[in-house]
Amino acid sequence: MLTARESEGLIFIEAGEKLDAEDFAAFVPLFERIAQRTFGTVSMLVELKPDFSGWNIGGLWRDLKFDIRHKDQFGRIAIVGHKKWVEWGTKFSAPLFSGDMRYFDLKDIEKAEKWARTGSTEKNG
């Protein structure tokens, strides 16, 4: 299950269970629409729900093709979750993107949104 929405130029994604190729149907057109109208890159906040268990082969393949095709259009990507493997996965996949990618614990979701929007986690920054 994947849901995607936009708020003031930031894409919010919630991912749960095991993602497949069909889960990208809502996300891809939204990202491409924002990328076309936005100067620069598109930033995102990705919340991985407690039941998130990764991708099946079709979902992984579609995700990788999309990531490669749009790699220079990604801005800051805040990954929010509560499992240690999510943090490791974020560090592992960060080099695949031209934008900056960081992991935030679920309790820090407001800090994650601020960072995705501004690049800062400071209260006044």
Please classify residue 23 by burial: count the beta carbons closer than 10 Å to its beta carbon, then call 0-12 exposed, 13-18 middle and 19+ buried: buried
pLDDT tens for each residue of the chain, 125 residues long: 889 999 988 999 998 888 887 877 778 888 888 888 877 788 989 998 888 887 777 656 566 677 666 677 788 989 898 766 565 555 545 555 556 888 899 899 999 999 999 998 876 55
d(Cα 26, Cα 99) in Å, to the nearest integer? 22
- The CATH code that applies to domain 2-118 is 3.30.750
Can you give the residue ranges of every domain in the chain? 2-118
pTM over 0.85: no
d(Cα 38, Cα 15) in Å, to the nearest integer? 24
Query: Cα–Cα distances in Å, from 13 out to 25, 77, 122, 124?
Result: 13, 11, 23, 26
